[in-house]
């Protein structure tokens, strides 16, 4: 069943988020902080390992440069923030980190190589194994994130469904047209974005990672143009 993996992913993130909200109410703040820091270190290591999958380092670098400029021009981070704030007002949430929870969770859940590979596996072969494995991992990650950032993590399932489900449908339409090398460059670009996200999670440097989302499209285009 197409989109099964994404639907399972949505369910596990919601479940993990609810468990995290319960834990947030019970745990002392110092425990919540150490969980958040551990997640930041994990994101950094994951991002570096993904970034190294490139075969042509200039592709992810130029993808981030061009994609970041486009995202800054379109102010994607600002638009995402306004949308999250609108949802916050509608739900009458008092969580000060609501917007951060939505954007951080979305980036963490959707920038990994398992998102791309799993979506293409489900779209082209009808197999959901990889996305279901990812769903279990995201469930635990959402628990940790929600314990630190609150209810906004649960609302990240909306952009997660649109992004991951959209990738799956795109893969079903394209078939096997995208070569493995292109997926590798896409994964590498996403990994570099995760490194930037880790800097924000660890309070090293706040980076508007959402503005780099167009880099994923640029990476595909450059890879198809310059693949050996």
- pLDDT of res. 228: 66
Range of the domain at 104: 4-226
Tell me the average pLDDT of the chain. Answer: 89
Is residue 92 predicted with pLDDT exceeding 90?
A: no
Using CA atoms, how far residue 135 sits from 74, 114, 146, in Å, is 31, 10, 16
- pLDDT of res. 91: 82
What average pLDDT does this structure show over 7-12?
96
Give the single-character DSSP code of 203. Answer: T
**Cα 154 → chain centroid:** 14
What average pLDDT does this structure show over 157-171?
93
Q: What's the total number of domains in the chain? A: 1
- The reported pTM is 0.84
How far apart are the C-alpha atoms of 213 and 39, rounded to whole Å? 21
Q: What percent of the chain has pLDDT over 70?
A: 98
CB-side exposure of 198: number of CA atoms within 13 Å? 19
How far apart are the C-alpha atoms of 136 and 118, rounded to whole Å? 13
> What backbone phi and psi angles, to 5 degrees, belong to 213?
-55, -40
Give the model's confidence band at 175: pLDDT under 50 very low, under 70 low, under 90 confident, else very high.
Answer: low
Instruction: Print burial letters for 6-38: b (CB count within 10 Å at least 16), e (below 16).
Output: bebbbebbbebbbbbbebbeebeeeebeebbee
* pLDDT tens digits, one per residue of 127-149: 888 899 899 989 988 998 998 88
What average pLDDT does this structure show over 111-138?
86
* pLDDT tens digits, one per residue of 24-72: 777 787 887 888 788 889 889 888 988 998 999 999 999 999 999 999 9
- pLDDT of res. 11: 97
Closest CA to 3 of 159, 123, 141: 123
How far apart are the C-alpha atoms of 215 and 220, rounded to whole Å? 9
Tokens of 206: 């706040």
């Amino acid at each position: 069943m197409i989109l099964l993996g994404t639907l399972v992913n949505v369910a596990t993130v919601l479940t993990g988020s609810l468990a995290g909200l319960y834990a947030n109410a019970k745990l002392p703040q110092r425990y919540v902080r150490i969980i958040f820091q551990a997640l930041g270190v994990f994101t950094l290591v994951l991002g570096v390992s993904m970034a190294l999958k490139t075969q042509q380092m200039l592709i992810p670098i130029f993808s981030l440069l061009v994609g970041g400029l486009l995202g800054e021009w379109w102010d994607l981070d600002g638009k995402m923030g306004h949308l999250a704030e609108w949802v916050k007002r509608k739900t009458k949430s008092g969580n000060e980190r609501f917007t951060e929870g939505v954007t951080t969770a979305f980036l963490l859940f959707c920038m990994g190589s398992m998102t791309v590979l799993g979506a293409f596996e489900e779209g082209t072969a009808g197999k959901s194994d990889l996305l279901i494995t990812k769903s279990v991992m995201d469930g635990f990650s959402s628990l940790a994130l929600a314990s630190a950032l609150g209810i906004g993590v649960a609302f990240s399932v909306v952009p997660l469904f649109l992004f991951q489900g959209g990738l799956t449908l795109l893969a079903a339409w394209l078939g096997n047209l995208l070569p493995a090398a292109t997926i590798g460059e896409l994964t590498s670009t996403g990994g570099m974005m995760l490194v930037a996200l880790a800097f924000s999670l660890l309070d090293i440097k706040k980076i508007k990672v959402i503005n780099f989302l167009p880099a994923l499209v640029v990476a595909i285009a450059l890879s198809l143009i310059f693949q050996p």
